[in-house]
Amino acid sequence: MEAHALWIRFTIKEGHMKEFMEAAMYDAKHSMEDEKACQHFRVMTKEDEPNNVYFLEVYDSKKDHAIHRTMPHYDVFAKVADRVVEDRQRTELIIHNP
């Protein structure tokens, strides 16, 4: 069984971490609760990278991830991210499970 995964590293502008984390947690919570095809959505930080946030998202398919980007909770996140994200590095992956 294959799944579509994303590993994203966000660098947040100084002084905007709280606002970003609130929007990120809102998106993650509603992705997991409202999107049947969202298998996994984790928001992570590292102690030694105070302005970076990592997402690990897993969807049933690439198409399901595209649908995620049309959801109201994603729009809330995207509006905040557009203002407070300095840089983002995104990697798309295919998960291969038996």
Tens digit of each residue's pLDDT (9 = 90 or more) over 65-82:
999 999 999 999 999 999
Q: Which domain holds residue 34?
A: 2-96
Burial of 28 (0-12, 13-18, 19+ CB in 10 A): buried
Q: What is the model's pLDDT at position 91?
A: 98
CATH of the domain at 65: 3.30.70.100
Which regions in the chain score pLDDT beneath 70? none
Q: What is the pTM of this model?
A: 0.93
Structural domains of the chain, count: 1
Q: What is the model's pLDDT at position 1?
A: 74
Distance CA 31, CA 93 (A): 19
